[in-house]
Structure 1
């Protein structure tokens, strides 16, 4: 049985931030994806893709993003698909990795990609630094989300992303 390796996801996100000398929030995942050679394409969902936020086609090195999702959702989707790519998750039978719009996924590879995305968008050292400076933010997920340019759901996931 495969289990999510959160430590690997966090460490890989940290290494990517170090590789590109990113030391300040807000993290530009679109630029990171481009710098590692991934293309971004937007799609308008139709009948069978309504619940899809995005997907990765590793063969063409392309992340497809639902053009109708909110901007913060698109940011997380790109970070999530980037996670699949850098963590080298195997593609499904169709050669793609789908990200469904449902917030909770029990698949270990999806959990690992979620942890990677949350760790990339809300890096541990930046989170510790801001909470040390403003301790009250630890309980104010909305304010933390605003500081990092993500949704409060990403902040909650970041705190749950532990082994």
Structure 2
């Protein structure tokens, strides 16, 4: 899945099906195990071992940062099922050097965490820099 509109639509289907925007709740409902490991550099990590999906989050992050990391890594788990591992080194969701899969996971995270009415533009039309500003400044309370 590589088109912003497709990612936005897919994310909204998940929100409707499971009645939540909370990435921790979604991971539990989707049988994706969340674990915590302190890292010196990494914010989080997604890996798949023998058909079991794991999201590892750095517990030294505050709750809002953990939400963002969990949503981003959940994006990898759902959008990139063929991949075995992804790591998030920086909390910035607009890394211009990010590969396609990282940008897709970023779009998934924004689509999940930010209600469309909170912004003046279609989520699928946002630039990577706009995504970072929205997530860091306007993240909604999820529950």
TM range (shorter): 0.7 to 0.9
Structure-1-length-normalised TM-score? 0.66
Which 4+ runs in 1 deviate beyond 6 A? none
Structure 2 counterparts to residues 56-135 of structure 1, below 5 A: 56-59=46-49, 60-91=52-83, 95-103=84-92, 104-105=94-95, 106-124=98-116, 126-127=117-118
2:43 partner SS: strand
TM norm structure 2 = 0.74
Describe the SS at the equivalent of 1:67: coil
DSSP 3-state at the match of 2:46: strand
- Which residue of structure 2 lines up, in the alignment, with residue 154 of structure 1? none
Tell me the secondary structure at the aligned position of residue 98 of structure 1.
strand
Query: 1:82 deviation in Å?
Result: 0.7
State yes or no: 1:39 paired with 2:33: yes
Cα deviation digits, residues 69-99 of structure 1 (max 9, x gap): 12111101111111111112542xxx31111
The total of aligned residue pairs comes to 123
Given that 1:89 and 1:109 are in contact with CA atoms closer than 8 Å, whether structure 2 keeps it comes out as no
Counterpart Cα distance in 2 of 1:58 and 1:127:
34
Structure 2: which 5+ residue stretches go unaligned?
120-133
- Deviation for aligned residue 1:127: 3.2
Q: Which residue of 2 aligns with 1:30?
A: 24
Residues 2-58 of structure 1 deviation map (CA, whole Å, 9 limit, x = unaligned): x95211221111010011124xxxx3211111000101000011xxxx221111112
Contact conserved, 2:44 with 2:55, CA < 8 A, in 1?
yes
What is the CA-CA distance between 1:113 and the residue it aligns to? 0.5
